[in-house]
Amino acid sequence: MKRFVFLALVFIIFISNAHGDVYSPNRSLYTLETKFFHIIFPEESRSAAAYLATFADSSYDEIAGLLGTEKRYKISVVFTPDSEELNGSFTNYPYLRILLYQAAIDPDSGLGSFNNDLYKLFYHELTHAVSLTLRGPVQNILVAVFGTPLGISVYTTPLNFTEGITVSFESRDGFGRAADPLAGAILRQDIIEGNWKTFIQTAGAYDDVPGGNLYYLYGGYFSKMLQDRYGMEKYAKLWQALGSGLLSRPFDDWGYWPGHFSRVYGFTLETAWAELKSLMSIRVPVVMDVSPIREAAPITAICATPLFLYYADSAKKELLRYDPAAKIEAKVLDAFYASRLSASADGSKLLISTHKIEEGFPRLELREMDTASNKVRVLPYRKLRDASYTAAQDIVAIRMDGYQTDIVLAGASGIKVLLEGSERIAYSNPLVSADGLWLYALARIDGTNSLVRVNLNGSSQIQRLETPVGIGWLRYLSQSEGILRMGWDDDKLYRLAEIEGDTVRWQTTPISGGVHDPVAVKSEVFYLAHFSNGIAPCLFPQNRDQLGMTEAPARWLPADELLAPKSAYDSPPASGEKKYNEAFWMLSRFWHPTLNGDLENGISSLGIAFYMQDPIDRLDAQVWAGWNTLSSLPQWSIEVGINAWAYPISLNASDSFTVLPVADPGDLVSVLRSSSAGASVSGAWQTFAGSEISWILGTGAFAYSTSSGSAGMAYAYRFWDSINLTATGALGIGNFKYGTNDPDYALGYRFILLSRNLAALFPSSAYGLSSGLETSLAFKATPLELNVFGAFAPLGQMVYNSSGFFLPNSGGSLGGSASYPTYAGFAGKKSGTWYAQGEAKLRIIHASIQSGAGGAYANRLYLEAGARGALATPGTWHMDASAPDYAATGFGRLTLTWTPAFGMAAQIHPQSWIEIWINPETGKYGIDFSIIAEY
């Protein structure tokens, strides 16, 4: 009988459990309709939904007008306040949807150039919805019949254009990433270091630092250049060509075949890309002599005490301390991330603004560390970030209120609001002067950052620094020894600005890497420099003569308008809202026909697949119904996801038929009916120590029967010959640190324990209860990697070998792949109730290539060598009970990481490998390979 593989649960470990449902906990939802939008929101987002409704339709009208198209779709927009970090997304599956996380932007971040958080976030995602639905007549027919996922341009448009248009459109008013010198400095630094990226690299092919940011930043500046220099009409024409003809004609020229770009603009893409490089080049002297104190890494925050520097490495998940006097770096904490660090005046305590993953969402958290013992405690405050100590050891911080920010004082007496924000006014970097008299902060007012101060002696006096002419885009505020320090830029690189007493002084000559987050230890200024390969703490030059330091009187102007700002979120709720109805959305809005077959048997089945999903991802379903042409019988399958609770639940059921091969043409045809049903629940979380834990539990049933001859449908649907029950559970824990310049570098471990159980329900005498335990332990310290796998069948009814497991009493019909890999060289080894295998390998060569031609791009090449071993112990089945069965091989493997640099596919980086192995005992050898091993 053909071997039948029973229901197996796929357990993917160490990927954070992303809840499908965008709300946790679930609560009542409402909808607000405009002409072109369904706005869905909970109570906490009512004011944001009402505000969005005032400009959503006009934004659609504006973007459609810029691209020369019509408003043709009704789009769902979902608000969630449950993530405390701003983000958004657009999808066309299974219909057009926009998701908006209701959180305020950190003005020091890469999105800090927005002048209205909600407006710009929505405008960005809506630009995706409009630009990626530009289609030709044939595509429009396909979409009208089957649904929006068949809009081909979503998948074929280069990523630096997919994101470039959104970044350029968000920046049309002068506030957005394509207008922000913080973003532009990444391009300028690449030019300075001779590391300018090609068009293909910024379309997703390049996988070194900063990776995925490139198609936003290069793409945004490139699209903005095309719009500004050659007009929106040509730019819109290019997008119309991308939407209707990217499959029939390439984007770039192909030999003598002109692509869409040159047909629209009259010159090549290469010429335009060179023009962008010229436009972004810095045309003033840049000081190249910098003094890093350690190698570059993704450093996210830095602060200073009277004696030390502290900074956070998010890749290695470490808090580090640097002693400037001894020039020694030491690790302080593991499992570490910080958006801001701040030290008490005496250096005894460190305040850490961070976040944790809670119920699948990032939630803000403040932690306090004792610098003598390195002990950390979580402070009892919610939705606070960007925190620092006052002289009285209270905390001044930014409190998020939806898309707004307030400055608050937190202490023993509770939380007091010092300054309120609005959609126009956002605050960051609050700190209190050493004498406790002044609160300082950066205020982003209509997109422009200013330094403000508030008198804390009860007078409520508020002032704004009159920024010297030419000084703009202020970020990063710190203080030490009575000196305030910031960074500023004017479309070159960030430079230092200081305020001491009644004087403001600033650096005019840029230095390579820019000056970000300046802090001081004993009058020595340190800062973070943003290089092409990461961020490094640096010592600011002691000799400032080369930096063009300039000074002027510090003038403070009244800013009383900040004391009681009016906010659009304070407006009355919009009328016409309704209760959210889930059922309405579960009608299928996307479907397609299916066809299965092979060269030997031809077409084996025809069918239709339907996809249903509600906008909040609380429920989703896939239903397939088909006709098996070989057996002339119907078959079907259904998968349902329920994400309404803390842990997602998956349900599935299927019924299918397979015509079994016959030994002789005259034999009767046999048809195998396979039926199954199952359910699983899974979860994941992070521990305080940084370990990631995942688990899954599942149960199911599968049944089969065989019918022969021409008995027809009635006989095929008779009662099953065998019904079996399964139960599977898995638990995994791991902790990895990652490298900066090698995406495959890792240091850490991973452990997985899996249990699978199988019992015959009917007939009960077919075989007894069988059970198997499988474990895996991986340890990586690149270039060394160790992997150990073990399996045990405690009841003796299941056996393991190098290929997986099976139940001998079932006649070989029940079995499947185990959780461990199948190694070449061990095929055909005997089976046992105990089985173990392992691998040790060493990376000998790692070559970063980062180049390619056309859509073929090579990222990196690895050469590895190592040894493997396997051991099966004596057992009941297929074993010589006198001795264990073991084997060992040596191997060498050459692995290439590459990128299919075409449209959305450029986001994946497959690995292909070829391996030579040999068994030294038997002399047997072989060559194994895989075109696509993993992503």
Structure confidence by residue, pLDDT tens digits, 625-661: 999 988 889 999 999 999 888 889 999 999 999 888 7
**What is the pLDDT at residue 667?**
60
Structure confidence by residue, pLDDT tens digits, 142-167: 999 999 998 888 899 999 999 999 99
DSSP string, 633-655: EEEEEEEEEE-SSSS-EEEEEEE
**What is the pLDDT at residue 250?**
86
Q: What is the mean pLDDT of residues 197-202?
A: 95
Task: With H, G, I as helix, E, B as strand and everything else as coil, classify residue 487.
Answer: strand
The rounded distance, in Å, linking the Cα atoms of 182 and 701 is: 56
Q: Which helix (H) or strand (E) segment is 847 a member of?
A: strand 834-853
The rounded distance, in Å, linking the Cα atoms of 513 and 291 is: 11
List Cβ neighbours of 390 (8 Å cut-off, separation of 6 or more).
396, 409, 432, 436
619, 640 Cβ separation under 8 angstroms: yes
Structure confidence by residue, pLDDT tens digits, 733-756: 999 888 766 777 888 999 999 999
Give 796: exposed, middle or buried? Use CB within 10 Å, 0-12, 13-18, 19+.
middle
Residue with tokens 């105990």: 834
pLDDT class for 709, splitting at 50, 70, 90? low
**Could you tell me if residue 176 is left (phi over 0), alpha (psi between -120 and 50 degrees) or otherwise beta?**
left
* 201-205, 714-718, 864-868: least confidently modelled range: 714-718
In the predicted structure, residue 16 carries a pLDDT above the cut 70: no
**What is the pLDDT at residue 813?**
67
Task: Count CB atoms within 10 A of the CB of residue 132.
Answer: 24
Q: Which segments within 92-192 are labelled E, that is strand?
A: 97-101
**What is the pLDDT at residue 30?**
95
Q: How far is CA 270 from the centre of its chain?
A: 30
Q: What is the mean pLDDT of residues 537-560?
A: 94
Q: Which helix (H) or strand (E) segment is 604 a member of?
A: strand 602-613
In the predicted structure, residue 621 carries a pLDDT above the cut 90: yes
For the chain, the distance separating the N- and C-terminal CA atoms, rounded to the nearest angstrom, is: 36
> Which is nearest to 831 in space by CA: 784, 867, 796?
796
Hey, what are 216's tokens? 């936003």
Identify the residue with better confidence: 148 or 829.
148
Structure confidence by residue, pLDDT tens digits, 313-345: 988 889 999 999 999 999 999 877 899 999 999
* 521-535, 653-667, 876-890: least confidently modelled range: 876-890
In the predicted structure, residue 766 carries a pLDDT above the cut 80: no
Q: What is the mean pLDDT of residues 249-278?
A: 92
**What is the pLDDT at residue 814?**
78
**Summary mean pLDDT of the chain:** 89
786, 885 Cβ separation under 8 angstroms: no
In the predicted structure, residue 826 carries a pLDDT above the cut 90: no
Output b/e per residue, 910-920; b: 16+ Cβ within 10 A: bbebebbbebe
**What is the pLDDT at residue 883?**
67
3-state SS of 873-892 is CCCCCCCCCCCCEEEEEEEE
In the predicted structure, residue 19 carries a pLDDT above the cut 60: no
**What is the pLDDT at residue 689?**
73
> Which is nearest to 747 in space by CA: 755, 739, 759?
739
Task: Count CB atoms within 10 A of the CB of residue 586.
Answer: 14
Of all residues in the chain, what percent carry a pLDDT higher than 70?
94
In the predicted structure, residue 712 carries a pLDDT above the cut 80: no
In the predicted structure, residue 2 carries a pLDDT above the cut 50: no
**What is the pLDDT at residue 165?**
98
Q: What is the mean pLDDT of residues 890-910?
A: 92
Structure confidence by residue, pLDDT tens digits, 119-133: 999 999 999 999 999
List Cβ neighbours of 916 (8 Å cut-off, separation of 6 or more).
891, 892, 893, 925, 926, 927
Structure confidence by residue, pLDDT tens digits, 442-469: 999 999 999 999 999 877 789 999 999 8
Sign of CA dihedral 573, 574, 576, 578: negative
**What is the pLDDT at residue 5?**
33
* 419-433, 494-508, 819-833: least confidently modelled range: 819-833
**What is the pLDDT at residue 875?**
59
List Cβ neighbours of 465 (8 Å cut-off, separation of 6 or more).
450, 451, 452, 453, 499, 504, 554, 555, 556, 557
pLDDT class for 375, splitting at 50, 70, 90? very high
269, 253 Cβ separation under 8 angstroms: yes
Please give the model's pTM, rounded to 2 decimal places.
0.92
443, 406 Cβ separation under 8 angstroms: no
Q: What is the mean pLDDT of residues 763-768?
A: 72
447, 175 Cβ separation under 8 angstroms: yes
